[in-house]
A and B are shown apart, each in its own frame.
Chain A
């Protein structure tokens, strides 16, 4: 019973993180059809912001992190992605790949390749123990933050005029434009929201790892991308579902696999994702059905 509970907690935590990464990418993909590898750069920038503001109060650091991530997201949209908007999705993907590698090298030449460590908050290192169930506080924080962000995003998209415009743009961009939705503004907004999500990811990741490198966030984005793909890239609901499915599957494999095979868990997981993509190229949740943004 207690091991089951423990696994459930782990799965929820992992799934929440994957969902967070996936949401950030699905946000942009829904409108632009851009697979934004550069999302990892946003997370990295957030991480370095936390490192360099180590002396300030936590709330200031968090606000600054969000500000930096959002600003960088907007700049990238303006400088790099506006020019390739009309290009094929593959070209945009290569562009975002290039941008993320460019920013990683830039970070390396500015801050060095060695990890920079910082302490986000002592809470992140503590944990509760209930009998045999071991519950790190950061897991709880992660789940709460992800739930709040998903809920907030849902409310924003369904209850506000700006959210309505975003959903319209995601559904059919040209028709939305004909009806008076300002394309640039909607796209900027999508990038800004992905910036906020990246900032949250940076805080949670750094809280768990404690250090930042120039490739900080790359693995996160890789997993987030795969999660988003599993769920169906162009739907936000799909991104969340995909994140939790991937996290849950990962945890199940961890428990079920014989010890000799556990190192190969991720290989099996990604082989399964490959098969899923072949069977359902559109992901678990077909686009056009759910809320597409």
Chain B
């Protein structure tokens, strides 16, 4: 029994350690005033969203700028489900009966929100997973615009620009922490599964992976749907935390924030996703408090948007100086004091990056890039 637990601990060591770190930060926040606790819950929701995006981007190497459409789907579905039937009768008299009469508790609403996002993603993934690189990224941009327009115009169900309000607030600290744990475990399990490893192989070298019998579209599609599920859950948690949502929320600004977190932490590893989201949340909070006050003894002028300016500068400098992010795409690793026999050898795909073969593949990739870019 002990051995089994130990092995589970070894296999899930990284997500559990990351989770402990997040819990510590979150508990620190709860010692502060209520407003800080609310922000901390918002930060946890962002962790779910970043991990959701990471599952696709980090494993496939294809960027998606349209993941907020899944958060939008999750948020609206969960919000509509969680709203009391009587309230919906008043706010959305023209909505289809199905939307008006169905009601669910917060937990079910979040799960259904995630599933709805996954279903949408499954439909989108069929064509999308056939293309890669920049075209895929730009296709997701047009997807985001399309979803945003629908949310803004479908008056009878989404109330258009006014958005949904009076959604019962169900995202408390324990709930958010629970979903963070789920997201971490799902992301890690997927990444270490044969599916994750095959997708990562296609990220290193698409042609070689295809030649080894990996169906790149299938693998990308699986990651896309899984990632959309987590993103949908994140959007649902967001809706149930804030109590009101509108189409503008799930658009470019939020997309940028989530991408900033992922890039800053390092898009290549789960550790990077978590480190990035916690670091950016903390930095944004520090900057917001410093606004109009002082930071490290230096006076800071009170200017709206200044926090975002600093955040932007940090991101640009980071991209220029450390394109791999804070973690450089590496997972958390602890010094191995016990013999190697205690724990299964590290088979995590990122841990094998120093491997000479991977180096060759990487080198070839950057060479071919250099051909058409200076």
Which residues of A does B touch, CB under 8 Å?
32-33, 35, 80, 83-91, 93-95, 97-99, 101-103, 105-106, 108-110, 112-113, 172-174, 177, 183, 187, 214, 218, 222, 225-226, 229, 233, 263-264, 266-271, 273-275, 277-278, 281-282
Contacts and interface: CB of A to CB of B under 8 A. Distances in A.
A177 B320 contact: no
Contacts of B146: 266-271, 274
B142 A278 contact: no
A112 to B, nearest CB: 7
Nearest to A261: B153
Interface string B287-328: 000000000000000011110110111011001100100000
Contacts of B153: 263-264, 267
Given A94-B263, A99-B316, A109-B309, 5 more contacts: A84-B319, A105-B306, A233-B138, A263-B153, A266-B146
A86 B316 contact: no
Interface residues of B, number: 49
A216 to B, nearest CB: 14
A264 B149 CA distance: 7
Nearest to B143: A274
Contacts of B370: 86, 174
The 4 closest A-B pairs by CB, nearest first: A102-B312, A105-B308, A108-B305, A281-B135
A226 B230 CA distance: 27
Interface in B116-146: 127-128, 130-131, 133-139, 141-143, 145-146
B355 interface: no
Contacts of A89: 133-134, 373
Nearest to A271: B146
A225 B131 contact: no
Contact of A83 (B305, B309, B320): B320
A98 B315 contact: yes
Contacts of A95: 316, 319-320
Contact of B131 (A103, A112, A277): A277
Interface of B: 63, 127-128, 130-131, 133-139, 141-143, 145-147, 149-150, 153-154, 252-253, 256, 259-260, 263, 303-306, 308-309, 311-313, 315-316, 319-320, 323, 366, 369-374
The CB with the most chain B CB atoms within 10 A, among A84, A99, A102, is that of A102
B302 to A, nearest CB: 10
B374 A173 contact: yes
A233 to B, nearest CB: 8
A274 B370 CA distance: 28
B141 A98 contact: no
A94 to B, nearest CB: 6
Contacts of B315: 98, 102
Contact of B308 (A83, A101, A278): A101
Nearest to B61: A90
B312 A278 contact: no
A278 B374 contact: no
Contact of A112 (B128, B154, B304, B313): B304
A114 to B, nearest CB: 11
The CB with the most chain B CB atoms within 10 A, among A35, A110, A271, is that of A271
B272 to A, nearest CB: 14
B328 to A, nearest CB: 14
B127 A275 contact: yes
Given A33-B372, A274-B146, A91 B252 contact: no
Contacts of A112: 304
Nearest to A172: B372
B252 A87 contact: no
Nearest to B152: A263
Given A80-B316, A109-B309, A91 B142 contact: no
A109 B320 contact: no
A187 B373 CA distance: 11
B309 A277 contact: no
Contacts of A278: 127-128, 130-131, 139
B373 A173 contact: yes
A91 B374 contact: no
Contacts of A214: 305
30 contacts: A84-B320, A85-B374, A86-B370, A86-B373, A90-B134, A91-B323, A94-B259, A94-B263, A97-B256, A97-B259, A101-B312, A102-B316, A106-B305, A106-B309, A106-B312, A110-B303, A173-B372, A222-B145, A225-B138, A226-B138, A226-B141, A267-B150, A267-B153, A270-B143, A271-B143, A274-B128, A274-B139, A275-B127, A278-B131, A281-B135
